[in-house]
Amino acid sequence: MTDLSPADTAKNAAATAAVALVQDGMRLGLGTGSTAVFLVHRLAERVKAEGLKLRCASTSKATAELAESLGIRIETLDDIGWLDLTIDGADELDPDLNLIKGGGAALLREKIVARASDRMVVIADGGKVVEVLGAFKLPVEVIPFGWQTTQALIERVLADLELEGRPVVRRMQGEAPVLTDEGNYILDLALEAIPDAARLSVALNALPGVVENGLFLGICDLAIVGQPDGGVVELVVEEAVE
Ligand code: 5RP
């Protein structure tokens, strides 16, 4: 592949390494975003070259359309039932492989698919690796009904968690609110740093108008971080020594 920017070289390297984990007969979850686009292309090449028989579920309509256009048949998650492996991008990942996802507004389907998988592998470039989650605005999917009330309740949760005054903004595209594949809104929480992600996640999801938040905690098993020179670094969670 020629003429890729350093960032795209890194994404493609991560995607290529992840696709090497795919084995004939696997049930796969396909992620969403610009890194996942490389994933789908590299996977389609292997399917074509090796005649792999796979069963694939998608985390978004966009990925499903791309996959189908490249000859990968997409089935519903419920038709497949359970997945061996999901490969997806991330907006941030910390040393424990906790993630922020949802930059592409697909966090709900992404979390459902990842949680229905034996293994989740994240593909990313080095810019996504952080010490503490939160510089990337945390996406929260909310239902349109009463969304401003939900926004106020989220602000109250943030105040309770000593994150008072952090902006909570509905994501827009031009003049219109961004709609998820489920027809919901995304509220982006500019938190700067998240001191207790587990507590925040539970508190957000306890609010009636919140459908899901973009914290993926304890879900990712392996991160493949692409490098601008085309190499990759693999990150796993260090086991605690007793
Ligand atoms: C979409 C996501 C993406 O995986 C995340 O935004 C990373 O995207 P990209 O690979 O384009 O940086 O969570 O909802």
Task: Find the 58 Cα to ligand 1 centroid distance in Å.
Answer: 14
Q: Is the pLDDT at 49 greater than 70, yes or no? A: yes
pLDDT computed for residue 241 by the predictor: 65
Q: Is the pLDDT at 172 greater than 80, yes or no? A: yes
- Taking each helix axis as running N to C, give the angle between helix 61-69 and helix 34-50, from 0 to 180 degrees, rounded to the nearest 10: 30
pLDDT computed for residue 33 by the predictor: 98
Q: CA geometry: angle at 236 spanning 129 and 130, to 5°?
A: 15
> For strand 55-58 and strand 27-30, is the pairing parallel, antiparallel, or unpaired?
parallel
Token duo for residue 202: 């539970």
User: How confident is the model over 139-163, as pLDDT tens digits?
Assistant: 999 999 999 999 999 999 999 999 9
Average pLDDT, integer, range 174-203: 98
Q: Is the pLDDT at 238 greater than 80, yes or no? A: no
**CB of 29 closer than 6 angstroms to any ligand 1 atom:** no
Task: Find the 115 Cα to ligand 1 centroid distance in Å.
Answer: 17
Token duo for residue 148: 């401003």
Please, is 178 exposed, middle or buried when counting C-beta atoms within 10 Å of its C-beta (0-12, 13-18, 19+)?
Answer: middle
Per-residue confidence at 1, pLDDT binned at 50, 70, 90?
A: low
* Rounded distance between C-alpha atoms, residue 216 and residue 29, angstroms: 16
User: How confident is the model over 3-26, as pLDDT tens digits?
Assistant: 999 999 999 999 999 999 999 999
| Closest protein CA for atom 1 of ligand 1 | 104
**CB of 103 closer than 6 angstroms to any ligand 1 atom:** yes
Q: Which of 1-5, 11-15, 131-135, 171-175 has the lowest mean pLDDT?
A: 1-5
What's this model's pTM, rounded to 2 decimal places?
Answer: 0.96
Average pLDDT, integer, range 92-96: 98
Task: Find the 114 Cα to ligand 1 centroid distance in Å.
Answer: 14
Give the C-alpha distances (Å, rounded to integers) separating 15 from 89, 123, 129, 134, 203. Answer: 9, 6, 16, 25, 34
In order of their start, the domains of the chain are: 6-128+218-229 (3.40.50.1360), 138-208 (3.30.70.260)
DSSP 126: G
Beta bridge partners of 176: 173
| Best of 12, 34, 125 for a ligand 1 pocket test (most atoms within 8 Å of beta carbon) | 34
What secondary structure, in 3-state letters, does 62-92 show? Answer: HHHHHHHHCCCCECCHHHHCCEEEEEECCCE
* Rounded distance between C-alpha atoms, residue 144 and residue 158, angstroms: 20
pLDDT computed for residue 116 by the predictor: 98
| Best of 5, 35, 59 for a ligand 1 pocket test (most atoms within 8 Å of beta carbon) | 35
**CB of 97 closer than 6 angstroms to any ligand 1 atom:** no
What percentage of the chain reaches a pLDDT higher than 90?
96
Contact 121, 87 (CB under 8 A): yes
What percentage of the chain reaches a pLDDT higher than 70?
98
Q: Is the pLDDT at 43 greater than 90, yes or no? A: yes
Helix or strand (DSSP H, E) at 68: helix 61-69
